[in-house]
Amino acid sequence: MRRDPPDDGVANMAADAALLGWARAAGCGVVRVYAWAHPTVSFGRHETAAGRFTPASLAAAGVAAVRRPTGGRALLHHREVTYSVALPLDAASGWRPTYAALNARLVAALRALGVPATLAPAGERASPGGAAPAGVSQAGASPPLCFDAPAMGEVMVAGRKLVGSAVWREGDGYLQHGSILWHDDQARLAAAAAVPLPLPPPAATLAAHAPQLTPDHVADALVAALTGASPDIGVVDVRPFVPTPAYRAEEATWREAFAASSWLWRR
């Protein structure tokens, strides 16, 4: 099976953070495809969430919450296929070429499945709405939702955003993960908010553009597209995710960190 079993937000974000450490130590990349056990809103690393959302408003809407290790803005994880790629990246290299190369691979994998995906052209928002360079906050951005519009270089179909991706650059490591929507549940964020939020426009979905697919079809295509020798992203080898004892130990440490309310409501 190419996908990890569905898990909660803390476990999923801890796994991705641990993968970044693993990739940096191993000197090769790793790809993971996974799902979510419950509807969960994820906040970007530097995004302002306190005041916009509260534990009470989230509970009333039946939505869990987690803060990502990556940048970007709020999105609702539910009926989707989620991918993550962790890579070693030379400290002198910029993150944008890697982001562009990975998104191009996502497009190629989706098009091979019959999804008419394209990359948003230049002239859209200058900074990817689901991706932010390490250390740069998008706090206060309006509207505060990832899927309000495709940004330059993001994956879309017919002008609508299909994939919300977020990144984090840390020293000689790079993490990118993102949501490929099966159905559009993003409007549910408005019900989970403690203050009025603008509804995002309808997003593109796999259900609408490739109803013949299954999550396993998509997972297999993603893993095939993102693994192997990767000269375009400067990595000799990218492998499918296979947990090791050392990885499990680091993941447990990250679970404790991501479960802390001081991290979730840090902004």
Task: State whether residue 158 is helix, strand or coil.
Answer: coil
Q: Looking at 19, 61, 85, 146, which residue is catalytic?
A: 146
Residue 75 identity = L
d(CA 52, CA 197): 8
d(CA 176, CA 42): 14
Residues 6+ apart with CB under 8 A from 245: none
CB 118 within 8 A of CB 152: no
Backbone angles phi, psi at 76, to 5 degrees: -100, 120
**Tokens linked to 170:** 């840390």
- Active site annotation includes 146: yes
d(CA 224, CA 239): 10
CB 95 within 8 A of CB 86: no
Hey, which residues are catalytic here? 146
